[in-house]
Chain A
Amino acid sequence: MAEKKEYKVIGTRPIRHDGVDKVTGRALYGADFQMTGLLHGRVLRSPHAHARIVSIDTSRAEAYPGVKGVVTAQDLPEAEDRVADLGEGAVNLKYLCDNILASDKVLYTGHAVAAVAATSPHIAEEACKLIDVEYEVLPPVMEVRQAMEADAPLLHENLKTTSMGETAEEPSNVASHIQHKLGDPDKGFAEADIVVERDFVTGTVHQGYIEPHNATAHFNQDGQLTIWCSTQGAFTVREQVAEILQYPISKIKVVPMEIGGGFGGKISVYIKPVAAMLAKKTGKPVKVLMSRSDVFEGTGPTPASYIRVKMGATKEGKITAAEAYLAFEAGAYPGSPVGPGAMCIFAPYSIENLVIDGYDVVVNKPKTAPYRAPGAPNAAFGSETVLDEIAEELGIDPLEIRLLNGAKEGDRRADGPVHPRIGFIETVETAKAHPHYTAPNGKKHHGRGVASGYWFNIGLESSVTINVNADGTINLVEGSTDIGGTRSSIAMQAAEVLGIPAESVNPSVVDTNSVGYTAVTGGSRTTYATGYAAYEAAQDVKRKMITRAAKLWEVDEDNVQFADGEFSCINGKEEQISFRDLCGRLGQTGGPVVGSGTVNPGGAGGAYATHIVDVVVDEETGKVDILRYTAVQDAGKAIHPSYVEGQIQGGAVQGIGWALNEEYIYNDEGTMTNASFLDYRMPTCLDLPMIDAVIVEVPNPGHPYGVRGVGEVPIVPPMAAIANAIYDAIGIRMTELPMSPDRLLKAMGKI
């Protein structure tokens, strides 16, 4: 279906449609929403990592001048212990509700306990201090291996391990165990000339979006609930709020405002149901904003993990077997991304004998949320470091060993699926030929490392409607919130079909009452799936316009052809009319034209990336500086190359932060001590060089233009690439993230 073609719009770099609004400060984000009579809400959070709530007394807060209402878990409908599917997989409703407002126990510092609505945010905040909560403090469990021990304190008395269909008898912090197996690993290791096995530890890290969570809710007198908010998916907000509040979705409208970053962290709801509860209680619209520390302590980061990887290879470098043990911290409630981690580890390679075990383990930290290729970066840190060590031991170039073992079309992933046409080999070949890889690298304490990564990408549902305007432009209505320029990448696909410029499309992201169901902006799916829906909607417009041309010329529809933005008559008459001119004649040919497209495509097509990094290590301080960075990635087809590059650069830099400094640091009581942008230490522009993003295009057969998702895979390789570069610089294998200066000093034996 998808072949190399010449396109008019696709592959060009138009100014994004929402650009002017965003450079002039006019674009309205969730916190910018204003409304007459607005109250301000604030959430009280637990100061303890693990405690039983003995009592909550809100009377002093309620009496504070300016306070209009206080809510606790008592105000939530009784949550059943049942499983609901809310768009990002199945979740237990009791857990979901308890994470909104704790009912019986608090399970992490920052766990929401109560909320206040008042006439100003300051009053709401001051009133929170007047809520008296009595806690019975329990010992916290802060680390995955500790939580897996038989005598570890239990977070949930009823949680029992499910392991490949079986449920254990005794309660445990291990929610589940999964296993994927191919071939005969024992036989494979026996055939190996070299076997390398290492343990890895990765820290808890946050998505770090700059915009804190926000929500404004209002209940009309007729029971209609409207929520204005920043979210990656208005429809999933509607579903989650409906389940939590036990309220019909037909009475909920979610209006997605502009969103200031998400990276997976703005799919789960936190304060949206709370705003609705406060709005219900006060009868007024209520806006709830999180502070930055609320975001760190009260929303889902991505998990810390313990990983063990063993790989065997022949002396020629052929991998004969691989084994991985992945134990991921789910946070307070089950649901870590160990599943995706297990799907992605080793997926760049064709390996006959494999076994992967994954464990989902609860600990006293915030319930984890997706973060850009969730699970895959943790896993790749282990596997890509071990592969580097094998290459080094065997004296094989690290990119060469990847070419030798690289997965191709027809190879099977450990968890079952067979790869369609993929572009892994092409990313490695491109990296190998890149001037960065061939540049000299010999200075003292300078090192170069490479690593690859995989992310499977997803499809899911999207809907698009196109309204044709009389002047030859179209209004494109979609439901995917635009976090990185997707209005344009979606609009460009419709423009390509209709032969009109990108600028002739007016894309709008609308609320849940105004467009068909559309799944979240996540899973690298938006340009792929909503773009696909836009393609289908444009095809619908094209068909309808052909009908109009046929009517105009009084010929059969079969006699009308459409190419390069022109309709022409191919039989008998010498008629021709441009798309634009025909748009002006819709009234006389039957009225307005509206096209629609809905999809749930199955051919998302996996994405691969190979990164090269040069570092310098200050051996006296342990500090690592990034000198040069090149990220090669298969985009399938880059619709708007600038924004594809942007995804690659941004993902790589988040990976650099994860590699070098970012982590949740906890004290002995289980409280995060660095819940601010000051001490969480995300990279600033002074910490980085330019990031050379190199796009490879191996079209995805599952999309009309060959698009693959590009957003997530760039965060997969950086940690291992940097670890491998540090090894090249100082001869030490770093196996713990972040590779912060103190850890390097320790590894070098300086402290």
Chain B
Amino acid sequence: MARKSHVQTTINGETVEFLCESRQSLLEVLRDELYLTGAKEGCNNGNCGACSVILDGRLVNSCLVLGVETEGRSVETIEGLAEPDKLHPIQDAFLENAALQCGICTPGFIMSAKALLDSNPNPTEHEIRYWLAGNLCRCTGYDKIVKAVMDAAQETSA
């Protein structure tokens, strides 16, 4: 049987320890070991963005990071975004704009949008579309998602 390693990392601001096999991705660790199932598997090869998380402040596909690589690092997931009594403005904007249908891509889009607005608080429509091109949505045609991110940008930079 495959050996497991002990890993200590920070997830959504909390120190977390887990055991994982080298071949388990960060996505698998989040979902199967830590029960943080907000990040989704859509393709498992970095082409859909449903598993997007923020690693040390940078957007990554968690299916393309090994769990063992996160030793000593910091991971932000969709579960850490809202405050106990208040949604993040991007989450609010997605609801107000009806920017989701089935919702499977939504956590990935929201994390991707957060990484965008963290680095560029006032993006143009083109910049939003370029940044989000790694996140696939098959339901919405992206129209309302792009509008939601534009709205959230106004809200957060105001």
Residues in A lying within 8 Å of B, measured CB to CB: 13, 15-16, 18-20, 22-29, 31-32, 34, 65-66, 120, 122, 207-212, 258-263, 289, 291-292, 483-485, 640, 642-643, 645-647, 649-654, 676-678, 682, 684-686, 688, 690-691, 693
Contacts and interface: CB of A to CB of B under 8 A. Distances in A.
Interface string B119-145: 000000000111011111111111111
Contacts of B37: 25, 28-29, 31-32, 34
23 contacts: A15-B96, A19-B94, A19-B100, A23-B87, A23-B91, A27-B103, A32-B37, A122-B2, A207-B138, A209-B102, A210-B137, A259-B102, A262-B102, A289-B41, A292-B43, A292-B45, A483-B101, A646-B140, A649-B142, A652-B141, A682-B136, A684-B129, A688-B129
B144 A649 contact: yes
A17 to B, nearest CB: 11
Q: Main secondary structure on chain A at its contact with chain B?
A: loop
Given A210-B42, A212-B41, A22 B140 contact: no
A484 B101 contact: yes
A25 B38 contact: yes
Interface in B47-84: 47-48, 50, 77-79, 81-82
B133 A677 contact: no
Contacts of A66: 1
Interface in B85-106: 87, 91, 94-98, 100-106
B39 interface: yes
Chain B CB within 10 Å — which of A32, A66, A645, A646 has the most?
A646
B146 interface: yes
Contact of A25 (B77, B134, B142): B77
Nearest to A654: B138
Q: Classify the secondary structure of B's interface with A.
A: loop
Contact of B98 (A13, A25, A678): A13
Lowest 6 A-B CB distances belong to which pairs? A25-B38, A260-B104, A653-B141, A22-B103, A649-B141, A642-B98
Interface in B1-34: 1-2, 21, 23-24, 31
A688 B21 contact: no
B44 to A, nearest CB: 6
Given A292-B45, A677-B42, A685-B146, A691 B141 contact: yes
Contacts of B132: 684-686
B143 A690 contact: yes
A686 to B, nearest CB: 4
A122 B23 CA distance: 9
Contacts of A34: 35, 37
Contacts of A691: 141, 143
A646 B106 CA distance: 14
A19 B136 contact: no
A678 B44 CA distance: 11
Contacts of A676: 43, 45, 47
Contact of B82 (A24, A642, A647): A24
B45 A212 contact: no
A678 B45 contact: yes
B107 A25 contact: yes
A262 B158 CA distance: 38
B116 interface: no
A20 B82 CA distance: 10
Nearest to B104: A260
- What bracket does the count of chain B residues touching chain A fall in? 35 or more
A160 to B, nearest CB: 38
Nearest to A38: B32
Nearest to B103: A22
A250 B93 CA distance: 44
Contacts of A693: 143
Given A66-B1, A261-B138, A650-B138, A210 B144 contact: no
Contact of A22 (B100, B130, B137): B100
A650 B82 contact: no
Nearest to B36: A25
Nearest to A260: B104
A210 B50 contact: yes
A597 B123 CA distance: 49
A261 B135 CA distance: 15
A729 to B, nearest CB: 22
Contact of B139 (A26, A289, A484): A484
A585 B96 CA distance: 35
Contacts of A291: 44
A26 B43 contact: no
Contact of B136 (A26, A27, A210, A484): A210
Nearest to A486: B101
Given A26-B38, A676-B43, A686-B133, A211 B142 contact: no
A484 B139 CA distance: 8
Nearest to A693: B143
B98 A260 contact: no
B95 A31 contact: no
Contact of B47 (A120, A289, A483, A677): A677
B115 interface: no
Given A646-B144, A653-B142, A686 B129 contact: yes
A685 B40 contact: no
Given A261-B139, A645-B144, 12 more contacts: A23-B87, A24-B38, A24-B91, A27-B103, A120-B21, A210-B50, A259-B102, A292-B44, A484-B139, A650-B140, A688-B129, A690-B147
B110 interface: yes
A28 B38 CA distance: 8
A260 B102 contact: yes
B11 to A, nearest CB: 13
A254 to B, nearest CB: 19
Nearest to A690: B143
A16 B141 contact: no
Contacts of A642: 97-98, 144
A693 B144 CA distance: 11
Contacts of B77: 25
Nearest to A13: B98
Contacts of B23: 122
A697 B81 CA distance: 39
A643 B101 contact: yes
